[in-house]
Structure 1
Amino acid sequence: MTSFETVEGQTPPPDSVHPRESSPQAPTSVSRLNETIRDFVQRWNSVWVEGEVTSWNVRGGHVFGRLKDAASDAAISFRLWSSTLQRLPEKIAVGDRVVACVKPDYFVKSGDFTFTVSSMRHTGLGDHLERLERLRSQLRAEGLFDPARKRPIPFLPHVVGLITGERSDAEKDVHRNAELRWPQVRFRTIHAAVQGDRCVPETIAALSALDADPEVDVIVIARGGGDPQTLLGFSDERLLRAVAAAATPVVSAIGHENDHPLLDDVADLRASTPTDAAKKVVPDVAEQRALVQQLRSRARSRLTQRLGHDIAQLEQLRSRPVLRDPESLLTGRAQEVWTLQSRGRDIVRRRMDAAATATAELRAALRALSPGATLARGYAIAHVGEGVIVRDASQAPAGTDVVVTVARGSFLARSDGELAADPGTAAAEAGGTSAEDRRMEP
């Protein structure tokens, strides 16, 4: 059988609910109704269906997802057991177009209707994923994903702009976690649709309003989790270009950890969840106080260490002999100067004594060779005329004025002529020595 139709004329199970068996006075139970639906659904056969995977969540080794019709918005939920997942020939991801063999299943306890997949194979990319990949390549080529163009998030924003759904869990998470970290944080929140046709225009309008507010330092676009189909608005090209053109830094906090719309790549900062966005945008006051205390402690320790080092150096310098007893250097130098002075004085004295002795010897030698010494022994020098020394008696005939020079002074005499020679004179002329000379000799 290739459809969900039952065999015509088949008898329903004995415990099934018949409309005529229930009434306002005797209603049937919910469990009996669900069991009837389950028994009815279990008679349907498996069917092969083609569609695009819009959700693929792995929990406990099993996959829970959704399959969407490429030509319309019709979708079904499916469940893939871990044993079946291990038999798949290739890896399946969100956005893939697949062909799956499914069998309907109805859960009595929860009243959920889903399809159990017994086989699935990959046939290509889905239309949405293909369009997203083309847009991703285009924006990357234009440089909108370049980290160099992303603006830094301010350390402590004065006002945080928040774009999110009205009365949403994302808004509560951002406010609660931000206020826990920094109680004085202020928000300016603009509510916008976070899915559907109104999502993109309302988000762009809210972004434009917050970007024009000079008090807003950072803008957070937040939304709770959802299947990729509901997050398509945050991969819209119009919204992405508006975020890239904004002057205020934008933080993307869309979905859960595994959700990754294109807004995450264009925004200045990606947060995995709205809670994570609050932690990244607002600093933790306790952490900052601890950091300040740590820095103060490090500065105090460093300053104490530096002062201790300088004090130790000063003590070391003061302990040196030249600084401990500065006069010792002068005393040693003074003794050296006194010694050198004494040596210099002795040397000068010895040299002066030697010079005096030499001078005396020279004086004695000069005196011995000087004519004055001869004159001191009684000799005289006679001069006539213009200082001519009389060496011969004939030079002073009678009547000649003669100047006689003796040891002490000179006097004028007049010659009476030459005297007759006597024996003493003859001996002297002959080179002998007179008796007077012998008396004068030492």
Structure 2
Amino acid sequence: MADAPSTGPATREAPWPVAEMSEKIAAWIDRLGQVWIEGEITQWQLRGGHVYGKLRDLHQDATISFTVWRSVAQRLSSEFSPGDRVVALVKPNFWVKGGSLTVQVFDISHVGIGELLERLERLRRQLQAEGLFDADRKRRLPFLPGRIGLVTGRDSDAEKDVIRNATLRWPGVQFTIHYAAVQGDRAAGEVTAGIEALDRDPEIEVIVVARGGGDFQNLLPFSDERVIRAASAATTPIVSAIGHEADRPLLDEVADLRASTPTDAAKRIVPDVGEELAGLDQARARLTTRLGQLLAHETDRIAQLRGRPVLAAPDRLIDERAEELVRWIARGTELADRAIEDRSRSLADVRGRLAALSPRATLERGYAIAQVIDDSGAAGSVLRDPAEAVAGAPIRLSLAGGALDVEAMER
């Protein structure tokens, strides 16, 4: 039978059992309830949906184990890893059987730099989901902007770098400068106002937002949502020249062109006059060479054409065609004469046959045609038999020399 719990203080003669002491410790700790603690994550392991880790004090050598059950871990909106500084709502638990102290986490979030990074990451995902970082939204910068808008700090190295390098590359370039705070609480609002003011100026062809680097917190204004949305809404191309490679502000993502430094921005927004003049000289030289080659080629073609027989002696072609024409004329005349002779002979033959068959030819041989004269005095039918003629009837005889009227006599 188990011993009854002790009611008095533990002594050498009446010590507490280990379990009793552990239960008393667990009861004391349980009365503490839920508390907020701050520390640095040194271990973060996910097993079966639960998270097991350790949290270390920021200033002293003290570490405690913690557990995040699956139901809580699924509600976390941020990702955590060793090295993150966090605040957590926990409830201490003393495990009697193992004699170990752990805390159960009910809520956890980043603090300090980690909290800022978390907010920036959420904003980055939101803006990316809206399509503000899409490559097809990027606009091409003009080849040679007549006037450049510059948002930067007053008397800053960034201002000097942009103007000096741009002027060295193209002396005629002009600037409209909008001075703004580039760090601190006023920076985001002033930079936003500068972008909007320069975007309204119709003479401005490109806007440069420049700052000469800085630590992470100094660059936070260039990740402010107001600045990002102003740059996104601008109709004028935006160049981001913040000058920080490790911690890129969100303005770099939405800008039409990201320059690594203000000097780099100046080199990329205006061409180098020396390089352009050299390019023109090279183009002119290539054009001259090409034109010379083309003229030489065409000259050779003309020489080859002129060397052909038809162009070397053009009257030869005419003479050849004239001789051929004379031959064809003679041949045509000969054929025409022969055709006329053939047709004449044929006509004479036909005429002879017609003459032989003609009644006149028969009459000329002494024959006559006898026709009965009717009551009207006109010659009627031809008499072929004497019986057809009535005695005393008038008859007309057609002779070769003419007609003769006679009277039929009775035989």
**Per-residue deviation, 1:177:** 1.0
**Per-residue deviation, 1:363:** 4.4
**Pair 162,408 (structure 1): closer, same or farther in 2 beyond 3 Å:** same
- Alignment RMSD, CA only? 4.6
1:327-349: CA deviation from partner (whole Å, max 9, x where unpaired)? 65555555444434433333332
Mapped partners of 2:132, 2:330: distance in 1: 94
SS at structure 1 position matched to 2:155: coil
Question: Would you say the 8 A contact 1:382–1:390 is kept in 2?
Answer: no
Q: Residue 146 of structure 1 aligns to which amino acid in structure 2?
A: D
1:59-116: CA deviation from partner (whole Å, max 9, x where unpaired)? xxxxxxxxxxx999xxxxxxxxxxxxxxxxxxxxxx98369xxxxxxxxxxxxxxxxx
Mapped partners of 1:245, 1:373: distance in 2: 122
Q: Within 5 Å, give how 1:211-360 maps onto structure 2.
A: 211-307=199-295, 331-360=319-348
Question: Would you say the 8 A contact 1:96–1:129 is kept in 2?
Answer: no
The answer to whether the aligner puts 1:197 opposite 2:185 as a matched pair is yes
**Per-residue deviation, 1:180:** 0.9
Question: Would you say the 8 A contact 1:396–1:402 is kept in 2?
Answer: no
Question: Would you say the 8 A contact 2:192–2:230 is kept in 1?
Answer: yes
Question: Would you say the 8 A contact 1:221–1:251 is kept in 2?
Answer: yes
1:19-51: CA deviation from partner (whole Å, max 9, x where unpaired)? xxxxxxxxxxxxxxxxxxxxxxxxxxxxxxx77
Q: Which residue number in structure 1 is paired with residue 125 of structure 2?
A: 137
The answer to whether the aligner puts 1:97 opposite 2:76 as a matched pair is no
Question: Would you say the 8 A contact 1:251–1:267 is kept in 2?
Answer: yes
Q: Residue 220 of structure 1 aligns to which amino acid in structure 2?
A: V
Q: Residue 131 of structure 2 aligns to which amino acid in structure 1?
A: G
Mapped partners of 2:277, 2:139: distance in 1: 26
SS at structure 2 position matched to 1:219: strand
Q: Which residue number in structure 2 is paired with residue 175 of structure 1?
A: 163
| TM-score with structure 2 setting the length | 0.58
SS at structure 2 position matched to 1:97: coil
Q: Which residue number in structure 2 is paired with residue 431 of structure 1?
A: none
Question: Would you say the 8 A contact 1:380–1:404 is kept in 2?
Answer: no
**Pair 212,97 (structure 1): closer, same or farther in 2 beyond 3 Å:** farther
**Pair 415,289 (structure 1): closer, same or farther in 2 beyond 3 Å:** same
**Pair 131,406 (structure 1): closer, same or farther in 2 beyond 3 Å:** closer
SS at structure 2 position matched to 1:137: helix
Q: Which residue number in structure 2 is paired with residue 56 of structure 1?
A: none
Question: Would you say the 8 A contact 1:381–1:390 is kept in 2?
Answer: no
Structure 2 unaligned residues grouped into runs of 5+: 1-38, 42-56, 60-80, 86-109, 374-378
**Pair 358,161 (structure 1): closer, same or farther in 2 beyond 3 Å:** closer
Q: Which residue number in structure 1 is paired with residue 116 of structure 2?
A: 128
**Per-residue deviation, 1:195:** 2.5
Q: Which residue number in structure 2 is paired with residue 184 of structure 1?
A: 172
Q: Residue 83 of structure 2 aligns to which amino acid in structure 1?
A: R
Highest Rg: 1 or 2? 1
Mapped partners of 1:204, 1:96: distance in 2: 36
Q: Which residue number in structure 1 is paired with residue 89 of structure 2?
A: none
Structure 1 unaligned residues grouped into runs of 5+: 1-49, 53-69, 73-94, 100-122, 419-442
Q: Which residue number in structure 2 is paired with residue 155 of structure 1?
A: 143
| TM-score with structure 1 setting the length | 0.54
**Per-residue deviation, 1:303:** 4.6
SS at structure 1 position matched to 2:176: strand
Question: Would you say the 8 A contact 2:368–2:400 is kept in 1?
Answer: no
1:220-278: CA deviation from partner (whole Å, max 9, x where unpaired)? 22122333233222222232223223343221111244441111112221100111010
SS at structure 2 position matched to 1:154: coil
Mapped partners of 2:397, 2:151: distance in 1: 146
Q: Residue 97 of structure 1 aligns to which amino acid in structure 2?
A: G
SS at structure 2 position matched to 1:155: coil
Mapped partners of 1:98, 1:404: distance in 2: 157
**Per-residue deviation, 1:314:** 5.5
Mapped partners of 2:371, 2:233: distance in 1: 137
